[in-house]
Amino acid sequence: MRQAGTYSGILSGGISGKTGPHLLPLARIKKIMKKSGEAVKMISGESPIVFSKACELFIKELTQRSWMVTMQSKRRTLNKEDVASAVMATDLFDFLVNLVSESPLEMDTSKYS
Amino acid sequence: MEDEISHENSAHGHNKGSPESPCAKISCNGNNNNNKEQDRFLPIANVGRIMKKVIPSNGKISKDAKETVQECVSEFISFVTGEASDKCQREKRKTINGDDIIWAITTLGFEEYVGPLKLYLSKYREIEGEKLNIPKQQRSEQKQQQQQSKHEQNIPNFNSNVYSPPNLLSRHTSFVPSDQPFSLPFSSNNIQKQLQQQDQVDSVGYW
């Protein structure tokens, strides 16, 4: 039986009900994909699934790098500045530089289309 | 169909303050008519959970760090999708598929993600392929059985179908072997429509 409620976001992709804690909601991923540009119209069913895994890997990498900054400062709480430092220190995260350095953020995603 | 929206809105109201003030913290994209923040980001609970996995158990994560990572993930998705979309346009294809995503991820420098992703995707496709190989013939058999047999047959099968699979999605290293007696309910139909129940039952192969 499908689980409604808290995890319905996870289930919205039609994946069966077990609430693996690392699942990201597929419909939400799809929405974000669609917002990235006018040209994005049709998305295969597997794309959000691939992204679900890719986002998990991305979050983990970003967090690990941020945590290293936290540890250097001898703290145990990872804060936003640590994330910003990790972004600045990593070439791979260049596309995030504007995002972490501005307080009022404008996600100008049109540049990616 | 986006009727998943209602579930998500109620379940994961974006917790940047009040969901009713979408532009309070983040200035909205000018051409974005849908200003709800919750649509722009993945749920902070999910993001936070994944983050916790890679820090020591006595570590803590501030809320603003989670929010920042949340925003970064959305940016990542847009970034990769943009590349993939460009590729599809160049190749005159209308649909972005998993390979395009993987290609874009590679192109943008995230090569180390590619291994697990490809494996993941190939398993997914394998299961999808099995599902497609059990098309109408089993469906009609199943329907006959459904009509003849008791209703309760549907439910336990459906339940076990529902609860068993997602190992595939859980750890990227532990994939469900393809010799499972039933196929996993992955299907583009499932993802895009809410007609999953019937599809899942049909594809189960329990019958």
Please give the ipTM for the structure prediction: 0.76
Q: For residue B147, give the amino acid letter.
A: Q
List the 36-55 stretch of A: residues with Cβ below 8 A of B. Answer: 36-37, 39-55
Checking phi first, is residue A5 left (phi over 0); if not, alpha (psi -120 to 50) or beta?
left
Residue B96: φ, ψ to 5°: -80, 125
Give the pLDDT score at B119: 87
Query: In which residue are the tokens 């980001």 written?
Result: B41
How many CB atoms are closer than 10 A to CB B200? 27
Kindly indicate the confidence band of residue B120, based on its pLDDT and cuts at 50, 70 and 90: confident
Average pLDDT over residues B96-125: 91
Query: In which residue are the tokens 């859980």 written?
Result: B170
Task: Name every chain B residue with its beta carbon within 8 A of the beta carbon of A104.
Answer: 25-27
The predicted-structure confidence for A54-83, as pLDDT tens digits, reads as follows 999 999 999 999 999 999 999 999 999 999
Of B5, B105, B163, the CB nearest to A16: B163
Q: d(Cα A71, Cα B206) in Å, to the nearest integer?
A: 52
Average pLDDT over residues B21-26: 49
How many CB atoms are closer than 10 A to CB B1? 9
Instruction: Work out the minimum CA distance from A102 to partner chain B, whole angstroms.
Output: 11
Residue B57 tokens read as: 């158990």
What does the DSSP 8-state code read for residue B28? P
Cβ–Cβ gap A57/B116 under 8 Å: yes
Cβ–Cβ gap B32/A62 under 8 Å: no
Q: Are B166 and B181 in contact (CB under 8 A)?
A: no
Q: d(Cα B49, Cα B100) in Å, to the nearest integer?
A: 28
Task: Name every chain B residue with its beta carbon within 8 A of the beta carbon of A1.
Answer: 155, 158-159, 162
Instruction: Work out the minimum CA distance from B98 to partner chain A, whole angstroms.
Output: 5
Find which of B35, B74, B200 to mutate to test the A interface (most A CBs within 10 Å of its CB).
B74
Stronger pLDDT, A13 or B126, i.e. the higher one: B126
Q: Are A97 and B84 in contact (CB under 8 A)?
A: no
Task: Name every chain B residue with its beta carbon within 8 A of the beta carbon of A84.
Answer: 68
pTM: 0.60
Stronger pLDDT, B4 or A30, i.e. the higher one: A30
The answer, for A103 touching chain B at a CB cutoff of 8 Å, is no
Residue B36: φ, ψ to 5°: -70, 125
- Nearest chain A residue to B124 by CA distance is A46
Q: d(Cα A75, Cα B51) in Å, to the nearest integer?
A: 16
Task: Name every chain B residue with its beta carbon within 8 A of the beta carbon of A36.
Answer: 77-79, 81-82, 85
Of A41, A55, A78, the CB nearest to B73: A55
Give the pLDDT score at A72: 95
Which residues have CB under 8 Å from B207's CB, separation 6+?
B138, B141, B142, B145
Query: In which residue are the tokens 């990227």 written?
Result: B172
Q: d(Cα B111, Cα B104) in Å, to the nearest integer?
A: 10
